[in-house]
């Protein structure tokens, strides 16, 4: 067994040291080391071996990834696997350093910026997440993916803030709930502020500005608001959807913007039914689409779906909303510039509704009839 493992490791070493090595070779080597470490852990658990640690195995895997990204710095897949392994082992400090190097090598890779931003948001560092997203948006202007992820992250933040405030209002006789820190990312007019100089960021040796690596290890020093502070929180534009709308407005000025990009924003916003400003944000997006691309199938699709946003198919309000949506579809179907695309988009939201359990028989009949007509058209 040991001889087989040594032979296999030697084969991988010869492979990654050869002149024609590829990123796939390093990925295979790292995957084998991880499977070997998983096997060791299972054996130790089976035989109740308590004095065996995973540090040596993890160190070998980190060494393989380090050699891999040094040899093939242009491989995004290798950087992603390196980051995934660091996250799996909960090496947060190392993860931030790896992310800084990866972003420095691939500043136009939207997926890496989104990965870093969403990880920071999950860890509660919303200011750090905004810092990642804002810097990434400066580089990634060829496609809307990063901008849409930024808007999604802000909507998730709004959802959490409003859920916390709703929970606080149910408590009787308790003091004010500690309020989440609201970033200064939006000014009084609702514009996103892309400032280069902030106090809570550090500059590495190559000039890449990133959030404080120790931010997630610092204690959250939130202050309890007094009555005046609560009033300011209530009137803050960030809680009224100003940041997502500002992101969308800036995205309108980018080369990638069009009806499909706006539809991607719309698809994100409609999922957050627990955000009080959802309708306001959706109307803002739809007004822009109707003004700039009135007959595009993406615009028509969003216009048709708007009455159904936030309406549960099991409620009494759904039949009325569905009637309004079908009336809108009939109106825009005659004017759209691409009828087959609109049919496909319409079927895409009809099928999930038909899949709902215990759907009203009348609603099901209407939707099945509509689907048959669309499929035959």
Contact 72, 37 (CB under 8 A): no
* E strand map for the chain: 201-203, 209-211
Domain ranges of the chain: 1-105, 107-164+184-197+240-288, 294-377
CA distance 97 to 139: 20
Which of 251, 231, 84, 223 minimizes the C-alpha distance to 154?
251
Token pair 């070779």 is found at 25
Average pLDDT (86-104) is 95
Picking from 166, 148, 147, 146, the residue whose alpha carbon sits closest to that of residue 158 is: 166
Q: Which uninterrupted H or E stretch holds 116?
A: helix 110-122
Alpha helical stretches, state H, 47-91: 55-71, 76-88
Task: Round to whole Å and give the CA distance between 106 and 112.
Answer: 8
Residue 117 near residue 153 (C-beta atoms within 8 A) = yes
Contacts of 253 (CB under 8 A, 6+ apart): none
Q: What is the mean pLDDT of residues 261-265?
A: 97
Mean pLDDT of 330-340: 94
| Closest C-alpha to 307, from 319, 289, 325 | 325
Q: Of 95, 94, 112, nearest to 103 (Cα)?
A: 112
**Per-residue pLDDT band at 139 (split at 50, 70, 90):** very high
Query: How far is the C-alpha of 241 from the C-alpha of 154, rounded, in Å?
Result: 9
For 35-63, give one letter per residue: b (16+ CB within 10 A) or e: ebbeeeeeeeeeeeeeeeeeeebbebbbe
How far, in whole angstroms, is CA 316 from its chain's centroid? 33
**Where residue 83 falls among pLDDT bands split at 50, 70, 90?**
very high
Q: How far apart are CA 371 and CA 350, in angstroms?
A: 7
Tell me the pLDDT tens digit for each residue of 72-82: 999 999 999 99
Identify the residue with better confidence: 199 or 126.
Answer: 126
Alpha carbon distance 188, 237 (integer Å): 7
Give the pLDDT of residue 368: 95
User: Rounded to an integer, what distance in angstroms lies between the CA atom of residue 359 and that of residue 181?
Assistant: 42
Query: Which one has a higher pLDDT value, 164 or 233?
Result: 164
Query: Average pLDDT over the chain, rounded to whole?
Result: 85
Average pLDDT rounded to a whole number, residues 150-170: 88
Over residues 9-36, the mean pLDDT reads 94
On the CB side of 126, CA atoms within 13 Å amount to 19
For residues 254-268, average pLDDT: 96
Report the greatest alpha carbon distance in the chain: 74
Residues 187-245: pLDDT tens digits? 544 444 444 444 444 444 444 444 443 444 444 434 433 445 445 556 677 788 999 99
Q: What is the pLDDT of residues 42-74, one digit of tens each?
A: 888 888 877 767 788 899 999 999 999 999 999
């Amino acid at each position: 067994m040991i001889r087989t493992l040594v032979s296999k490791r030697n084969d991988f070493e010869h492979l990654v040291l050869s002149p024609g090595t590829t990123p796939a070779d390093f990925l295979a080597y790292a995957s084998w080391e991880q499977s070997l470490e998983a096997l060791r852990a299972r054996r130790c658990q089976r035989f109740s071996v308590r004095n065996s640690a995973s540090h040596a195995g993890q160190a070998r895997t980190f060494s393989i990834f380090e050699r891999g990204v040094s040899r093939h710095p242009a491989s995004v897949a290798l950087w992603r696997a390196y980051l995934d392994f660091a996250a799996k082992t909960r090496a947060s400090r190392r993860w931030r350093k790896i992310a800084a190097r990866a972003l420095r090598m691939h500043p136009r890779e939207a997926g890496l910026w989104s990965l870093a931003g969403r990880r920071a948001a999950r860890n509660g560092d919303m200011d750090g997440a905004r810092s990642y997203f804002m810097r990434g948006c400066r580089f990634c202007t060829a496609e809307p993916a990063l901008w849409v992820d930024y808007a999604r992250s802000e909507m998730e933040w709004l959802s959490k803030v409003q859920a916390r405030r709703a929970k606080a209002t149910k408590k009787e006789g308790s003091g004010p709930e500690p309020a989440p820190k609201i970033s200064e990312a939006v000014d009084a007019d609702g514009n996103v502020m892309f400032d280069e100089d902030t106090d809570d960021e550090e500059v590495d040796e190559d000039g890449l500005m990133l959030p404080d690596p120790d931010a997630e290890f610092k204690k959250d020093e939130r202050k309890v608001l007094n009555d005046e502070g609560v009033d300011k929180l209530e009137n803050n534009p960030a809680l009224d959807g100003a940041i997502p709308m500002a992101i969308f407005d800036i995205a309108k000025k980018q080369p990638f913007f069009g009806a499909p990009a706006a539809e991607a924003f719309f698809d994100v916003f409609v999922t957050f039914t627990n955000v009080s400003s959802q309708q306001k944000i959706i109307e803002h997006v739809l007004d822009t689409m109707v003004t700039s691309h009135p007959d595009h199938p993406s615009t028509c699709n969003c216009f048709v779906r708007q009455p159904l946003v936030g309406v549960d198919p099991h409620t009494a309000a759904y039949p009325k909303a569905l009637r309004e949506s079908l009336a809108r579809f009939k109106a825009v179907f005659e004017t759209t510039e691409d009828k087959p695309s609109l049919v496909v988009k319409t079927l895409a939201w009809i099928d999930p509704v038909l899949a709902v359990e215990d759907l009203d028989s009348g609603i099901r009949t209407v939707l099945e009839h509509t689907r048959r007509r669309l499929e035959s058209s």
